[in-house]
Amino acid sequence: MSLDPPPVNVERVVNELEQLAAISDCPEPPPAVTRVVFTETDLRARAFLRGLYEQAGLTVRVDPIGNTFARWEGSEPVLPAVGSGSHTDAIPHSGIYDGTVGVLGALEAIRVLKQAGCRPRRSIEVVMFTSEEPTRFGMGCTGSRLMSGAITPDALADMRDSDGDTYDTVRQQAGFSGSLADVALPGDYYHAFVELHIEQGPELEAASLDIGVVTAIAAPAAFEFAIIGEGGHAGAVLMPSRRDALNAAAEMTLAIERLAKESRSPDLVATVGRLDVHPGAVNSIPSRVAFSLDIRDIDGQNRDAVAAEIQEALAAIADRRGVQLESRELNADPPAQAADSLIAAAESAVAVLGLKHQRMISRAYHDSLFMARIAPTGMIFIPCRGGVSHRPDEFSTPEQISAGVQTLALTLAQLAE
């Protein structure tokens, strides 16, 4: 197979990214995007993608959780396939490029390889994973978790959204039927898996590089905390007798920030991104607060050690303030390593294209964190402006996207050969 630079039609990709961005529940127009799993909007985005896959002559299969596979059949279709893809769900008030570049970029990579007359031995599949983002059920990567056997079908089915509806109910209402037990893929399904993604950090732009070749993905964990204090009248209950759940939560979030900053690992990050205050009235003392904790590190052991310190500190604050504290671990995943074969394939693509690259870790998590459990896996990063992501001003230039798709196309061509 020749390794000429593939002629990416980047206007087409940008146009499709923009059309996808218009399918959004964000009250603000694009580039602000909100697309939450199993909503009407998610379903419309899926229909849009299916149309593109069909136009490209790919065969589409949807599994019982909604993971979508669009296959370009190789000349030896019985061989394990090469997979590439990412997600199209988008957290509230986020941007156009997170995940979507990896799905539409994989589609474009197939289109340009086809157009160049490439005839791979192995089939190449675009995968759109269901719910990489944790927005609705608190846990990210549910599609790839189930696909890789990292969560049992029962545990997944029982998870609830904020309306109290189970994952299983919601996915069936969205039209995804069949047994969740059928989602797991055998270990020899994929010969290799590679995900194209925006970096979501500042390193590539700062070093004026085109491409990051990912060597490892940091270990994420998520917890839910509930504080139960005592409510009452904001005028009548005097300060010494209060057990204000929100003030306890405030002290707790600051303790989390302090412990994260004091960690021996500069890669340890901890975020409280959601706080629900009950009853949420100006003249009522908060009686209950629920909040989330997202904590990550490349060093999984250090992540666990700091999470344990946080639990201890929060328990001490709760004791001192006379409030009750409940905590629940949602997930605590180990880090993942990219396969040497994938790093080599991506680096040889970069060399052919004359692009500048570096090896790097991914601080964000991705479906590749779980695909690495069942296939040799790698990731290709492109820069994004200012390292900004999970915000409407997230941006990568057409040239950066084009370089990423070219690198992906050549990587896929080698892996499928």
Please tell me whether residue 246 binds ligand GLV under the rule CB under 6 A.
Answer: no
* Residue 59 neighbours by CB under 8 Å, 6+ apart: 70, 71, 73
Alpha-carbon Rg for the chain, nearest whole angstrom, is: 22
**87 marked as part of a ligand binding site:** yes
What is the Cα–Cα distance from 11 to 27, expressed in whole angstroms? 27
- The only residue of 133, 210, 333, 367 in contact with ligand GLV, by rule CB under 6 A: 133
Please tell me whether residue 297 binds ligand GLV under the rule CB under 6 A.
Answer: no
Tokens of 258: 């302090």
∠ Cα 72 341 369 (to 5°): 75
* Residue 362 neighbours by CB under 8 Å, 6+ apart: 197, 214, 216, 217, 218, 368, 379, 381
Please tell me whether residue 376 binds Mn ion under the rule CB under 5 A.
Answer: no
What is the Cα–Cα distance from 183 to 280, expressed in whole angstroms? 41
Query: Which residue has the CB atom at the shortest distance from Mn ion?
Result: 99
Instruction: Give least dist CB 302 to ligand GLV, A.
Output: 18
Please tell me whether residue 205 binds Mn ion under the rule CB under 5 A.
Answer: no
Instruction: Give least dist CB 388 to Mn ion, A.
Output: 12
Here's the x/- map for ligand GLV, 348-367, by CB under 6 A: it reads as ----------------xx--
Instruction: Give least dist CB 132 to Mn ion, A.
Output: 6
- The only residue of 16, 42, 63, 98 in contact with Mn ion, by rule CB under 5 A: 98
Tokens of 398: 């057409």
CB-nearer residue toward ligand GLV: 225 or 365: 365
Instruction: Give least dist CB 398 to ligand GLV, A.
Output: 23
Q: Cβ–Cβ contacts within 10 Å for residue 195, how many?
A: 33
- Residue 365 binds which of ligand GLV, Mn ion, none (CB < 5-8 A, kind-dependent): ligand GLV
Q: How many chain residues interact with ligand GLV (CB under 6 A)?
A: 4
CB-nearer residue toward Mn ion: 247 or 362: 362
Please tell me whether residue 85 binds Mn ion under the rule CB under 5 A.
Answer: no
Q: Cβ–Cβ contacts within 10 Å for residue 239, how many?
A: 6
For residues 330-365, one letter each, b for 16 or more C-beta atoms within 10 angstroms of the residue's C-beta and e for the rest, the string is: bbebbbbebbeebbebbbebbeebebebeebbbbbb
- Residue 129 binds which of Mn ion, ligand GLV, none (CB < 5-8 A, kind-dependent): none
Binding site for Mn ion (CB under 5 A): 98-99
Binding site for ligand GLV (CB under 6 A): 133, 140, 364-365
Binding residues for Zn(2+): 87, 98, 133, 197, 390
